[in-house]
Structure 1
């Protein structure tokens, strides 16, 4: 089970890294000379920056989850030490706290 989770998390990390690479490629294309086009591109840049930030955060969370799997601490609350509900982990695989401690 833990190897399957690691593979699943690693696959998601690869997908997120591809998204980040695509965003970097988009930024590298530069801007149009037309001022009105540049305004639209700046708005697009803000969206791309937000997507990149979210992807980086998720990569870090999944990497940390893989470390917890390796250390046999995955699925246990970092605060109280109790097992994290499987339904919570299904929704948020990188959860580090049980629902009681997360509040």
Structure 2
């Protein structure tokens, strides 16, 4: 089970890294000469920055989850030490706290 999770997390990390690379390529394309087009591109840049930030956060969370799998602490609440419910981990695989401690 833990090897399967690590494999799933690793696949997702690779997808996210690809997304970040695509965002960097989009930024590298430069700006249009027209001022009105530049305004639209700036709005697009804000969206891309947000997507990149979210992807980087998820990459870090999944990397941390892999570390917890490796050291045997995956699925254990970091606050109370109780097991994190399987349903919670299905919804949020990188969860570090049980539902009671997360509130």
Fold-level similarity (TM above 0.5) = yes
Q: Distance in 1 between matches of 2:14 and 2:41?
A: 27
The residue number in structure 2 matching 1:83 is 83
Which consecutive residues of structure 2, in runs of 5 or more, have no partner in the other structure?
none
The answer to whether residue 24 in structure 2 is matched with residue 55 in structure 1 is no
Q: Distance in 2 between matches of 1:71 and 1:81?
A: 14
Once superposed, which parts of structure 1, at least 4 consecutive aligned residues long, lie more than 3 Å away? none
Cα displacement (A) at 1:9: 0.1
The residue number in structure 1 matching 2:64 is 64
Q: Distance in 1 between matches of 2:100 and 2:42?
A: 42
Give the TM-score of the pair, scaled to structure 2: 1.00
Cα displacement (A) at 1:20: 0.1
CA RMSD in angstroms comes to 0.2
Q: State the secondary structure of the residue aligned to 1:23.
A: helix
The answer to whether residue 34 in structure 2 is matched with residue 34 in structure 1 is yes
Q: Distance in 2 between matches of 1:57 and 1:4?
A: 22
